[in-house]
Structure 1
């Protein structure tokens, strides 16, 4: 069987991501794991990790092809150092760097020696781009090698293509998730509005008062009992609660 070329593998990854079958909108872990796995194969890395920070409110997520590396990347975020942290913070590519070099130990005093202990000798990182000016960078792809062969500019350019498509898909899936949440909120608000209007009519008929007066009584009962207006309205409609004038 013929081994697929890097271009064919890249095309295959694009198809998988575009199909939208690797994750749910609320759970991007499938995309992160795919990006890490494909990057390792396509870019001749020993291991790869992905740091994903969708916004300032959501917790960061990490995926990796190596469990020990995953723990290291988690610690690196806490230390505020490492190639992935730098790429995410700056939005710029971290070029191939020997991990036992003076530069690496100066920039990443905790990360570099721990990565070397895990058998990694070179590292590079690529920003994970977003789709908005408010969130231009969603995280980073971290690449590591166990030999002295550097990550070439061509390899890192290919890797940037991977992060570009993954970033687009992650941003799109997040937009879908936010749209669904907004639709759910609007649906709940509409349901509440309908039940409140029904309760106003029921109470107005029951007490022989104008609808505005019925709403005043309904709202007053909810406030005095520290309950949600929609809950009180639902009980009035179902005749589980009697409100008197």
Structure 2
């Protein structure tokens, strides 16, 4: 559905940010789309998202609108030693609009502000990407003019940005849970399949040697131990007609 109003686009962006329970989920594409939605909905020149794990940036995404993806990624990368993203992530709270020139003069984030001035960024703000007590990273918005901090307009921008970031936090948590459940299901299925192969091999050896299944299992396990092979691998070899020591 095509949404023409800002409210409609905002609602669609929230749904998109939370919709991550899919086998085809790609973190890079997801972060780029989210950054693009920020530029569409806010008075933003560019936007970027950084995901952080154990204090290290693990994924970056920049808005592609206006061909500024590389610029957004450069501004995120310049925050290795400090910046609005790290500050928001560290505190778990938004960083209100900051004048880049003022921050540069006070050496608040030297490396970042130098890059931001080079790219013509006038102001920036950041919000944490979070879900309850879990912090995933931060969303950074770059604007071409300094917001009037005495007005309510920038507060509205901050609220919209935080709502998008919160939806992303929900989406990332859901995707993490989905990936974990799929991994566990895969492990359980493999364990079940392995057990079935072992039981099948036991039956084949018992029939081949005219012995009981317990004796057949002892032989199967002994062969695996002597050859230092996984029991499941030996069982598969038996099913495929391979030889097994009876000793």
TM range (shorter): 0.7 to 0.9
Q: May I ask how many residue pairs the two structures share in their alignment? A: 236
3-state SS of the aligned residue for 2:110?
coil
**Aligned mates of 2:186, 2:55 — CA distance in 1:** 20
The answer to which of 144-153 and 231-240 deviates more is 144-153
Q: What is residue 178 of structure 1 aligned with on the other side?
A: 180
Contact 2:86 2:138 in 1 (8 A): yes
In the alignment, structure 1 residue 73 sits paired with structure 2 residue 73: no
**2:135 paired residue among 110, 121, 137:** 137
Judging changes above 3 Å, is the alpha-carbon distance between structure 1 residues 92 and 103 closer, same or farther for their aligned structure 2 residues?
farther
CA distance in 1, matches of 2:8, 2:105: 34
Match of 1:166 in 2: 168
Do residues 214 (structure 1) and 216 (structure 2) align?
yes
The aligned residue for residue 13 of structure 1 is 13
Q: Name which of 201, 204, 212 aligns with 1:202.
A: 204
Identify unmatched segments of 5+ residues in structure 2.
64-68
| TM-score normalized by the length of structure 2 | 0.85
1:231 equivalent among 230, 233, 237: 233
2:32 matched to which residue of 1?
Answer: 33
Q: 1:218 to 1:80 in 2, by over 3 A?
A: farther
TM superposition score normalised by structure 1: 0.85
- Between 1:25-34 and 1:220-229, the stretch displaced more is 25-34
Cα deviation for residue 102 of structure 1 reads 4.3
- How well do the aligned residues superpose, as a CA RMSD in angstroms? 2.5
Q: Which residue of 1 aligns with 2:66?
A: none
Residue range with higher mean Cα deviation, 98-107 or 85-94 = 98-107
Gaps of 5+ in 1: none
Secondary structure of the equivalent of 1:119? coil
